[in-house]
Chains A and B, each alone.
Chain A
Amino acid sequence: MPLPPLGIFDGVAAGSATSFESIATATGTGSSGTITFSSIPSTYQHLQIRYTNRMGAAGDNIIMRFNSDSGANYTRHVLYGTGAAATASGSTGVTSIGVGSFFNGSDTTQPQVGIIDIHDYASTSKNKTVRVFTGIDMNGSGDVDLISGLWISTSAVSSIVLSVVGNTFSTNSTFALYGIKGA
């Protein structure tokens, strides 16, 4: 039985040794603003990235691209709460998908966390849909974000780049890539 990335599932299946597997983990270096997962095998049904992030400096959103595509082939919609209001927005024809907090990207002290689900990533007949649940709370500021994204490409996703422009991922930043198998 495949494990859905979010939701209720059978407890026995959750203990299966092969349905939810760790593919790779990347840790920030303190000097680079890029995390790359490459040579991703096509043997899974879905992918999930779980991250804990602390930036080298406050500001800048985390962006995600697939297969090094920096063209205007991405779209996204977001619902976010600032602690004072809920706001929705959308963008088309953009060059990446924002997968971090819309507040200020992150903070140097408090961890920003997120879960990125990439569905049917290995399909060669469908565009790729992404779901993100992320947020940061700094005891008085921060926000929580629900994001959907689209990569308009029927190519299988074989590499993922997460980056912050003009900033760095601290050594306390960890990004873990998991594969979720189908039956």
Chain B
Amino acid sequence: MPATYEPIATTTLSGTASAISFSSISNTYTDLRLILVPVMTAAANLYLRFNSDTGTNYSYTYVYGDGAAAGSGRLTSFSRIQPYVGLSTTPTLVEIDIFSYAGSTNKSVLMRQSRDLNGSGSTNSLVGLWRNTTAITTVNLDLSTSTFASGTTATLYGIKSA
């Protein structure tokens, strides 16, 4: 039986980098799944974009808990999808599911960010939208400030349905 959950590419940084990109993504899968464990030189927000589109074609709705309270918010006609809280130098788990990425409809994303700093931290879940009917061939991860540090890992998987 052919594999339905395949690693497409992995990036493991041995030095700093300002961005991580997965390009030339084939259209042979149904969904994409990206697992990012970033180590940062300083706290920053993570920016997710597709096909290097920096236009205001993104929106997202999120819910979060920080150990003291829960909240929700939304950004509309925004230039990227970004988690609510800044990341830190302690590794954070970021899971991104990109559905029907090769289809001809607008693209929806589910993302979870989890971090615990032994006394602080948060969990953040969001649904995002990229208003574009083009197939996704590139996934771009950037930072508001700071850089990805050595030890950062990012793996892109393809999930193929019957």
Contacts and interface: CB of A to CB of B under 8 A. Distances in A.
Contacts of A22: 4, 160-162
For this complex, into which size category does the number of interface residues on chain B fall?
A: 35 or more
B73 A52 contact: no
The 9 closest A-B pairs by CB, nearest first: A81-B63, A135-B127, A81-B72, A83-B74, A176-B161, A20-B5, A86-B70, A139-B59, A22-B162
B128 interface: yes
A23 B162 contact: yes
For this complex, into which size category does the number of interface residues on chain A fall?
A: 35 or more
Interface string A17-56: 1111111110000000000000000000000001110100
Contact of B1 (A18, A24, A25, A174): A18
B3 A17 contact: yes
A17 B7 CA distance: 12
Contacts of A83: 61, 72-74
A113 B63 contact: no
If over half of B's interface residues share one DSSP class (helix, strand or loop), that class is named, otherwise mixed; here it is strand
Interface centre among A8, A137, A178 (most CB of B within 10 A): A137
Interface stretch (A65-73, A140-148, A158-166): A140-148
Contact of B61 (A51, A52, A137, A172): A137
A111 B100 contact: yes
Contacts of A133: 110, 112, 125
Nearest to B126: A144
